[in-house]
Amino acid sequence: MAKTSAGLVAHAGAQIGLPYVYGTYGKALTADIVRQKAKQYPTQMYASREEYALKHFLGKRSYDCAGLVKSYMFQETPDAAPKYSEKYDKNVGGLIKACVETGAISSIPEIPGLLVFRGTAHVGIYAGDGVVIEAKGFDYGVVKSRLSSGGWDKWGKLGWISYPRQAASPVTAQKTEDAVFTAEKIFKNTSGETLSVFADTKLETKIGTLPAGNSCKCLGVIDKKALLKYRVVSTGAYKVGFTSFVQGVES
């Protein structure tokens, strides 16, 4: 299966709520694994953490920050058992070296699936719209956080996966404001990937898709989501729905 930036974000999102254990990359935890990590990394898995993990984490898949990234290469589906590959077994420093393009965090493009780094100590996955998914630490597990509050200093485009061809504007340059337009505007999917369209701004109920390169009408931007009006090819009827890719709205 081809590995893509969108797939990386979907994979990371599926792990939210799972525990953080240093030195892990998606295996279901057993008592033996917990005790092994306690011996390997006593400053990370000290006695009270070991006791807590044995009580609360057994049977759950776990990750550390780099493990969350490389597990995408190890797991064929978000809930599959990982198949280890030495090629992708990198620490944070190794992940930086595996990036084909990097830049200061102030210049990060609005491209979900980029990696974000804090020195060589921590890595997260940029999910778009100012959100990062990260295996934050033992006390947090895998969580969503705000890009602006993470102390990140660098972004990187991982060489193992494919990204949209269309370059996106830096996050800091996003100026699209919420508004209901007085006249319909054109929306073009320049993301390079098929966009999902949802029933509401929570993006929970998928109602359709807009293929890469296709255009439709846009009625406005609400809660930083573009409100699209598009024609269903099979029926000729029109639908309206939301997508998070507001960069497609004509200026």
Interval 128-184: pLDDT, tens = 999 999 999 999 999 999 998 889 999 999 999 999 875 555 554 344 456 677 678
Q: What is the mean pLDDT of residues 114-140?
A: 96
Task: Specify the DSSP element, H or E, that contains 231.
Answer: strand 225-231
Q: In the prediction, which pLDDT does 119 show?
A: 96
Q: What is the mean pLDDT of residues 63-82?
A: 95
- Give all strands (DSSP E) within 70-168, no chain letters: 99-104, 115-118, 122-128, 131-137, 141-146, 154-158
C-alpha Rg value of the chain to the nearest Å? 20
Q: What is the distance between the alpha carbons of residues 10 and 175, in angstroms, rounded to a whole number?
A: 26
Q: In the prediction, which pLDDT does 170 show?
A: 57
- Which has more confidence, 158 or 194? 158
239 pLDDT higher than 80: yes
Helix (H, G, I), strand (E, B) or coil at 208: strand
Please give the domain boundaries of the chain with CATH numbers for all domains. Answer: 5-158 (3.90.1720.10), 175-248 (2.30.30)
Q: In the prediction, which pLDDT does 19 show?
A: 98
Q: What is the distance between the alpha carbons of residues 251 and 248, in angstroms, rounded to a whole number?
A: 9
Interval 3-53: pLDDT, tens = 999 999 999 999 999 999 999 999 999 999 999 999 999 999 999 999 999
Backbone angles phi, psi at 169, to 5 degrees: -70, 150
Q: Strand order in 122-128's β-sheet?
A: 99-104, 154-158, 115-118, 122-128, 131-137, 141-146
Q: What is the mean pLDDT of residues 225-240?
A: 84
Q: In the prediction, which pLDDT does 192 show?
A: 73
Q: Does the reported pTM lie above 0.75?
A: no
Specify the long-range contacts of residues 233-241, CB closer than 8 Å, at least 24 apart.
239/197, 239/207, 239/208, 241/197, 241/198, 241/199, 241/207, 241/208
Report residue 50 as tokens: 């070991």
Q: In the prediction, which pLDDT does 38 show?
A: 98
